[in-house]
Amino acid sequence: MSTHDSGMSAALGELLSSVVEWRVDFVAIFSPAGEAVYLNDRGRQLVEAGVLLDVARTTFLDFFAAEDRAFVRDAVLADVERGSRWHGTLRLRNMRTGAPIAVELEVFRLPPQADGLQYFAAIAQYLSVRLRAESRSRALLDAGAALSHTLEYDEALAELAKLVVHRLATYCLIDVFPEAGGERREIKRMATYHIDPAKRHFVARLSDFVPDLGHRAHPIIAAFWDGASTLVTDVSDAWLVAASLGPDHADVLRSLGVRSWVTVPLVARGKVLGALTCVLATELAYRPGFDHGYEAEDLFLIEELGRRAGAAIENARLYEYQRNIAATLQAASLPATLPTFDRLRLSADYRPGSAEATIGGDWYDAFELPDGRVIFSVGDVLGHGLHAAVSMTKLRQAMQAAAMVYADPSLMLRVADATLLLHDPDGFSTALAAVFDPAAQSFAYASAGHPGPVLRHEDGRIEELPTAGILLGVRAGNERPVRSIALPLQCTLVLFTDGLVEATRDIAEGQRRLRAALARLDVDQENPARALIDAVLEKKAAMDDVAVLCVRFLPTDVLEEAAAQSA
């Protein structure tokens, strides 16, 4: 081991020892200014550094060829400066001969030292033929992870483009073909990515040059019609012109320096869903391991990536189809309009959650009985998707039917519980049922594991009504008694599902936000429920489904004014 005397702390030295134990070929540590303060013996041998670090200050950029340094400065060091790790394949240079040395490199910041200085480290492994093969195999594993972490395939394909570039290409394009029988007949470019940040706007311009389905000479269209892959190890200008969509397109491709090209179909269940294009630039400084362009071995690997990406697209489309059905069912199940009453003004809002990107089983309901009493219910079926939406519909309808026969909150929950056990024995749901009697100004409610209503008095005081009860699906006769309170003549009552107060994953914080938002809520605006959700979520997307029903009990002067206007 050799260190340059720069005041490196003992703690950093201990960290250095643990880094060296990783048994990589090259380990170096650099000062915040980029000066080398340590290079391990294997690293010295790899780059033939000799005694260079003992007699001169060598910087991080000095380890790379001159033509690579702009990229290292603008991409690698920029990522490290932002606190990110940079990981990919690059070329170090032989300090004696200047020859390139292909390595898999990782650069990252080290913890701050006692003096406040923050060093950064670089570790690298020499890419022998065997290691190149291992690197390509890891690309398949990484692609599987990138494609499986989300059902939003546009997001997954964007991550795949980045992964492909860091492992296999200078830049990458991913296109999705129109669905069979669909009205849209054009190809959609889903992702573009270039390894050099300075050139990403150039490759993004390729989204303006997407071939149409009649351009048979283009590799992407060959994949669409025939499911055929295209491998061009050494791209000639004549081939580039033939594959381009015109002079402007050809000029953009030339500015990107196309050297070698692969396009493979994205296939799932025998259907071609899109195309993955990988390109090596004429300047191969950023792509060690591909000194002679793409070969048959690379085509096999990229075709496998295409099959995995195709499966991800197919799964996402099936998921989106089910989601649309669930969304349609849920929209049809919620009240199209809220009823109007002499004494009450209702408003409601529903927000689908974004964390799971799925439709859930939240609902709200309000209707009037022939004797003038008003029935309210809110609930939340555990789970997401079509199954939850179907269960929600059955429970809401069961509670409606029970209330029409005998308007008792406890009975409504018992009927809902029996309905759930009949149609979904393994399902669970929370629910709250309530009956408002305008003659007595009384509000009776019962809960099955659901959050209690929140009452805002006319003076702005907030009161959380107590609630208890076992959720539907496990009640087994353990019902809690109905609670009944006399409501003030002027107040606002809020019924909600727990997605409202769990938006921050901190229920106490969510309840605090709800109280604060309700205290300053303008109850006379067009939709107080929507405004309340916006205030609690701070206008951000809901993490889970949210349903809110606001009930304002109108003051006497408002009623008298409304009566005078109608007269």
Q: Which amino acid is at 176?
A: V
175 half-sphere exposure, CB direction, 13 A CA radius: 28
Is pLDDT of 154 > 80?
no
pLDDT at 60: 93
The residue among 108, 126, 154, 113 whose CA lies nearest residue 8 is: 113
**Model confidence pLDDT, tens digit, residues 431-455:** 999 999 998 899 999 999 899 999 9
Backbone φ and ψ for 348, nearest 5 degrees, come out as -150, 160
Under the banding of pLDDT at 50, 70 and 90, the label for residue 2 is very low
Radius of gyration of the chain (CA): 32
Is pLDDT of 36 > 70?
yes
From 9-23, 137-151, 358-372, 531-545, the region with the lowest mean pLDDT:
9-23
Q: Kindly report the pTM of this predicted structure.
A: 0.51
| Averaged pLDDT for residues 138-159 | 69
DSSP 467-479: ---PPBTS-TT-P
Superfamily of domain 2-127: PAS domain (3.30.450.20)
Across 385-518, where does the E strand assignment appear?
Answer: 429-437, 442-448, 454-457, 462-464, 483-486, 491-496
> Cα separation of 24 and 218, whole Å?
43
Q: Are 363 and 344 in contact, with CB atoms under 8 Å apart?
A: no
Under the banding of pLDDT at 50, 70 and 90, the label for residue 356 is very low
| Averaged pLDDT for residues 460-482 | 82
> Cα separation of 20 and 302, whole Å?
34
pLDDT at 159: 82
Longest CA pairwise span in the chain (Å): 101
| Averaged pLDDT for residues 463-492 | 84
**Model confidence pLDDT, tens digit, residues 260-287:** 999 999 888 888 888 999 999 876 545 6
| Averaged pLDDT for residues 294-301 | 84
Under the banding of pLDDT at 50, 70 and 90, the label for residue 357 is very low
> Cα separation of 5 and 361, whole Å?
65
Under the banding of pLDDT at 50, 70 and 90, the label for residue 312 is confident
pLDDT above 90: percentage of residues in the chain = 27
Under the banding of pLDDT at 50, 70 and 90, the label for residue 300 is confident
pLDDT at 135: 61
In this structure, whether the domain defined by 131-321 belongs to CATH 1.10.357.10 is answered with: no
- Residue for token digits 């792509």? 287
pLDDT at 450: 92
Under the banding of pLDDT at 50, 70 and 90, the label for residue 66 is confident
Q: Are 93 and 43 in contact, with CB atoms under 8 Å apart?
A: no
At the top level of CATH, the class of 335-566 is: alpha beta
Q: Any bridge partners for residue 174, and if so which?
A: 191, 276
**Model confidence pLDDT, tens digit, residues 210-257:** 888 878 778 999 888 888 999 999 999 999 998 888 899 999 888 888
Across 303-373, where does the E strand assignment appear?
Answer: 344-351, 360-368
- The reply to whether 131-321 and 335-566 are identical in fold is no
From 111-115, 154-158, 289-293, 414-418, the region with the lowest mean pLDDT:
289-293
* CA angle (270, 276, 278) in 5-degree steps: 145
More confident position, 540 or 200 = 200
pLDDT above 70: percentage of residues in the chain = 79
Domain boundaries, the chain: 2-127, 131-321, 335-566
| Averaged pLDDT for residues 487-498 | 90
Put residue 462 in one of left, alpha, beta given phi > 0 → left and psi -120 to 50 → alpha: beta
Under the banding of pLDDT at 50, 70 and 90, the label for residue 510 is confident
Q: What is the dihedral of CA 323, 326, 328, 330, to 10 degrees?
A: -140
pLDDT at 559: 47
Mean pLDDT of the chain: 82
Under the banding of pLDDT at 50, 70 and 90, the label for residue 4 is very low
Is pLDDT of 362 > 50?
yes
Structure tokens that stand for 220 in this block? 């992407």
Could you write out the three-class secondary structure of 179-221?
A: CCCCCCCCCEEEEEEECCHHHHHHHHHHHHCCCCCCCCCCHHH
Is pLDDT of 322 > 70?
no
- What letters, b where the CB count within 10 A reaches 16 and e where it falls short, cover 180-193? eeeeeeebebbbbb
Is pLDDT of 355 > 50?
no
> Cα separation of 320 and 326, whole Å?
10
pLDDT at 214: 78
Backbone φ and ψ for 430, nearest 5 degrees, come out as -100, 155
